[in-house]
Amino acid sequence: MTTLAILILAIPLFMFLLLGLLGMKMSHKLAGWLGCLGMGTTLVLAYTTAFTYYFDPEYTSEIGQRLQVLLFNETWLQFTEKLVINIGFLLDPISALMLVVITTISFLVHLYSLGYMEGEKGFQRYYAFLSLFSFSMLLLVVATNIFQMYIGWELVGASSYLLIGFYYTKHSAVSASKKAFIVTRFADLGFLLGILILSFYTETFDFITLTSNPDAVLTRFGGATFMGASALTWALILIFTGGMGKSAMMPLHIWLPDAMEGPTPVSALIHAATMVVAGVFLVARMFPVYLLDFDATLFIVCVGGITAFYAAMVACTQIDIKRVLAFSTISQIAFMMVSLGVASDGMGIPSHHGLGYMASMFHMFTHAMFKALLFLGAGALIHAVHSNDYTAMHGLRKYMPITHVTFLIGCLAIAGIPPFSGFFSKDEILAACYHWHPFIGLWMSMVAGLTAFYMFRLYYLIFWWKEHKVEHGHTPHEAPLPMRIPLIFLAAVSVVAGFIPFGHFVTWDRMPYDIHLDLAVAGSSIGIALVAIFIAYKMYCHENNAPAKMKAALPALWDWCHHRFYWDELYMFITHKIIFGLICKPIAWFDRHIIDGTMDAFAIVTNKASYAIRGLQSGQVQMYVWVYLIGALLLAAVGIICVF
Amino acid sequence: MDYSQFLAMKQEIGLLVVFLLVFLYDTFMPQRSGKALPVFTTVLMLAATVAGFFPCLLGTGSMSAFAGMYETSPIVCAIKGVLNIGVVIVLIQSYVWADSAPMQQRRGEYLELTLLTLFGMYLMISARHFLLFVIGLETASLPLATMVALDKDHYESREAAVKYILTAIFSSAVFMMGLSYVYGLSGSLYFNDIAVNIASQMSPLLIIAMVFVMAGIGFKLSLVPFHLWTADVYQGAPTSVTSYLSVISKGSAAFAFLVILAQAFGTIYADTWEWMLYALIVLTITIGNLFAMRQRNMKRFLAFSSVSQAGYIMLGVIAFNVTGMASLVYYILVYIFSNLAAFGVIQAIENATGKLSMDDYKGLYKTNPRLSFAMMLAMFSLAGIPPFAGFFSKFFIFTGAIAQRSVAIYVLVLIALINTIISLYYYLLVVKAMFISPDECVIPTFKSACSERLGLWITVAGIILLGIVSCVYNWLSGIAVM
């Protein structure tokens, strides 16, 4: 197992180095297939590891609890006796789950890109970056300590930056990549501060030490407070800030819609299925510590709840299909966050046997599958019509039957219609919310209804509405085979994944239990979803003026949603006007005039002095001798005066 | 008579043997075999160098000869060995020049005079009596004037020689005058006796005597204000002789200066020569730098650069401790490699194209990348940029000075540090000209001779390795004794 673990990390890293260093000497085909081969091998190894872990009784204790296994854990940096940073491989239910998710999606994206990216400049570079990303993400999820996670976290951010800016000649892609990097880095500052506070008190980075004995953590903090909140709350909220950045929670969500400038398969891999759930994973990993502090969990629930609603509203008005999916992703991740939050009852005990925790992880799994499916489907559509806007797509169902069907499955799954996977996971989340507080339950049910509405709005506008009379110059065609395989595979998974008895695999205390459908919650949520779909059908299936009328009826609301509640403008105002204008400009002035001025003056004086003494070197020997003699005598004279 | 005392002089004797063999070869071998003379000399010098290192490695203590007039010790052997290495590199770099048409007649003279002046420097270093020191000093100075004039078909070379001989004679006269005062005050010319006798009597005359003695040796080191000959002579002399002057002559004088100040005048350190040297160092580093900034001729540029480097070397003297001595020898060693790398490039370019101006170096990287890299490393090392050897030599010499633990010395080191920044400016001017300047390539691509390349490989390896291999300095600081 240890060998497998090392290989799982080593192969993607090796592929990155191989393709990065030698890629330019390879043909596109070779580089692409090498990338797929590498990822395929990793996939097989990861599956083997995960299946062995889940099904081999060796990894379960006598009372049925799944064990946390350190496959290896080597000292990497030793600062002091206690403060040690390790690099290792922690195998437990959630890291095994993530291994499966990451390698599956990554492999499918590798495969899909063979078709999607065909003939692009920098094809080899693209595959090198994909490998780097996969490596970083794997490093993150198997982290044995919070610092290793941070390393993976930053690497993930860097490779995301590289991939968003893949079309580096395109201005919008470059600024999107910068935006993503800066916003997430800013959030990571909070993460780092949180890590430092936490490790300052607990004197450890190690996850197992932290989570296996939360009471000890509490004792170590010993009631330390800062600005009215306990130090533990600060640490946990700051750590969560890092998660907010990566998982695009409000108000740090602004980078994700822009990140859609990257190639679509990248959006599927990074900005839908894997990297953006890192924040959720982080909270899940630290869950026993979060249980200790109700303020922090409450904060998570509030941020998640607001973000979910906000993103769903915005998604209803976007034109660019990738942006709709991006906001949908934000909303769904917020679901997972809320779900994790409601798993805590505020008294250090998980509410309802940690149902929310299990539901969150379940939804993370199903969401990864159907959201990747939707993104890859969107990629196929964009590939066919060469535009991101649904206005260029109407009525594509006849031309792209496979894309149509798979996209519909994706929509049904995310809308929560049984028997598709999204139904089961979302039902658990809603049930957990209702158990925690009815208000949260109602709120999230409403968001779920919105989800169904905007997804079917998108679906009808793309595949129905009024068909364009072939105006693209060519008839839209179905995607090539390497792109179709991942679509079909993911669609199949989205159909059946809901029947996995998830409670047997992933629970907060690693004790398996059976999950039951909550019929009241399930029934009501199906009802809401069906109503939402029906409204979408009425408004968008056939060409009519209902959307225009609605827009006219609620102009202000539509405007705010369409402009994403002017968050970007607010950020622009804060950065440009306040930070640049009031802080940076004076500092720049000081730098230019005072600091540079001092240095310049120094240089000018030196130069002047050099110019002034040039006469000394006249070329005449008589003069040289005079200077010699006078110099010696002066020295002697000064000496005599000083000493006597 | 105890003949075993000659054993102490084995390095001098070895050098004399080399000199005689070269002389005989030059005189009696047929004309056409003269071509091999430089190689022959180099090989012999190499052998003498290796042989000279043995007593050092065996860790013998100090030995004296001629009733204490002559003394040697491991660190003295080390500095002589260092100078030998420098001479070997200078010789290798001068093959092309020594082979040129006008030099074929004078090839022997060049080599013999080089060896002879080196012999004089040996005596300067080992002398513990001023009589022997003066003999060494003159042996090292007078033939140099001839060497400067070796390019006698060139007006500049002759002019430089005249300037050199005139100022050298003047300087010797001043030195002798100072020495006569010293003799008058102490009644002896032995360093040890002088130290004992003058310890108790401070007088204005002693200060004048000290100043004159320092001026005499400061001339050889080209300390400001006794440096004015440097630029003209360095520029006019044949480049091989310039490089010899700038590293070997300077290195030997620096060590001899340290020995004289420490042994003959060590008892009056605080009262006299500490602040004298202080003033000279500040003047030397600053004025050397200020002049170097404006030079466009590469040889003149390096002349002023070597003036300011001499100031840094003097920090090892003013430190007046064992660390200072070890770091001084180390500094000279590193300086030999760095400066000779720069001169090697200059010579290669001069031999191929005759160009000597910094403006001609523009775009050199495009046409001759390897030479540019060698030059860049030399400049970085001279400026003291890590990880090259020059950084460590500066670091150690500052460390030695700071070990004095007086505020004045802290200020001095600070001034030296500020000057390092100024020096960085003009060293980088050369690098900028080669690498960044707009693409007007004056110098075409050319293939330098084998010997030139060999010389550059050796010096560049030295620049890099001496920075990394810490055992060299450790070894030096292990054998240094005041």
Burial A29-48 (b: 16+ CB within 10 A, else e): eebbbbbbebbbbbbebbee
Residue B211 and residue A640: Cβ atoms within 8 Å? Answer: no
Give the per-residue pLDDT at B222: 93
Give the per-residue pLDDT at A100: 92
**Distance between start and end Cα atoms, chain B:** 29
Beta-carbon count within 10 A of B27 CB: 9
Give the per-residue pLDDT at B188: 92
Tokens of B352: 């191929």
Give the per-residue pLDDT at A320: 87
Give the per-residue pLDDT at B218: 94
Please compute the mean of the pLDDT values over residues B411-438 and round it to a whole number: 90
Give the per-residue pLDDT at B70: 92
**Tokens 């194209």 -> residue:** B353
Closest Cα in chain A, distance from residue B57 (Å): 41
Tokens of A154: 């930053």
**Distance between start and end Cα atoms, chain A:** 86
Beta-carbon count within 10 A of A3 CB: 11
> A252: exposed, middle or buried (C-beta count within 10 Å: 0-12, 13-18, 19+)?
buried
A229-243, A320-334, B374-388, B435-449: which has the minimum mean pLDDT?
B435-449
Give the per-residue pLDDT at A473: 57
Nearest to A631 among B208, B226, B232 (CB): B226
Which one-letter DSSP state was computed for residue A161? H
Query: Which residues 209-228 of B have a C-beta within 8 angstroms of A?
Result: 210-212, 215, 219, 224-226, 228
Beta-carbon count within 10 A of A509 CB: 14
Distance between CA atoms of residues A85 and A152, nearest Å:
13
How far is CA B353 from its chain centroid? 27
Give the per-residue pLDDT at A514: 80
Distance between CA atoms of residues B405 and A84, nearest Å:
40
Q: Are A447 and A368 in contact (CB under 8 A)?
A: no
Q: Are A372 and A274 in contact (CB under 8 A)?
A: no
Task: List the single residue in B with minimal CA-CA distance to A624.
Answer: B228
Q: Are A304 and A345 in contact (CB under 8 A)?
A: no
**Which of A602, A621, A622, A634 is most worth mutating to test chain B (most B CB atoms within 10 A of its CB)?**
A621
**What pTM was computed for the model?**
0.67
CA dihedral B81, B86, B91, B92 (to 10 degrees): 110
How does residue B55 score in pLDDT terms, banded at 50, 70 and 90?
A: low
Burial B450-463 (b: 16+ CB within 10 A, else e): ebbbebbebbbebb
Give the per-residue pLDDT at A132: 92
Residue B231 and residue A617: Cβ atoms within 8 Å? Answer: yes
Q: Is the pLDDT of residue B73 over 80?
A: yes
Q: Are A238 and A194 in contact (CB under 8 A)?
A: yes
| A633 chain-B contacts, CB cut-off 8 A | 211
Q: Could you tell me how many CB contacts below 8 A there are between chain A and chain B? A: 83
Residue B276 and residue A616: Cβ atoms within 8 Å? Answer: no
Give the per-residue pLDDT at B1: 63
Nearest to A632 among B215, B272, B293 (CB): B215
Distance between CA atoms of residues A286 and A221, nearest Å:
16
Residue B211 and residue A607: Cβ atoms within 8 Å? Answer: no
Query: Residue B72: how many CA atoms within 13 Å on its side-chain side?
Result: 24
DSSP-derived pairing of the beta strands A69-78 and B63-65: unpaired
Tokens of B336: 């030999």
Residue A628 and residue B219: Cβ atoms within 8 Å? Answer: yes
Closest Cα in chain B, distance from residue A640 (Å): 6
Give the angle subtended at the CA of A373 by the CAs of A372 and A379, to the nearest 5°: 90
Given CB atoms, is B171 within the 8 Å cutoff of chain A?
yes
Question: Which residues of chain A register pLDDT less than 70?
Answer: 467-474
| A627 chain-B contacts, CB cut-off 8 A | 225, 228
Q: Is the pLDDT of residue B60 over 70?
A: no
Please compute the mean of the pLDDT values over residues B66-88 and round it to a whole number: 91
Ramachandran class of A346: left when φ > 0, alpha when ψ lies in -120 to 50, beta otherwise: left
**Tokens 């407070």 -> residue:** A225
Nearest to B271 among A611, A635, A643 (CB): A643
How high is the mean pLDDT of chain B? 90
Burial A153-181 (b: 16+ CB within 10 A, else e): bbbbbbbbbbbbbbbeeeeebeebbebbb
Residue A616 and residue B207: Cβ atoms within 8 Å? Answer: no
Nearest to B207 among A606, A629, A643 (CB): A643
Nearest to B202 among A613, A614, A643 (CB): A643
| B226 chain-A contacts, CB cut-off 8 A | 628, 631-632
Tokens of B177: 């005058």
Closest Cα in chain A, distance from residue B300 (Å): 12
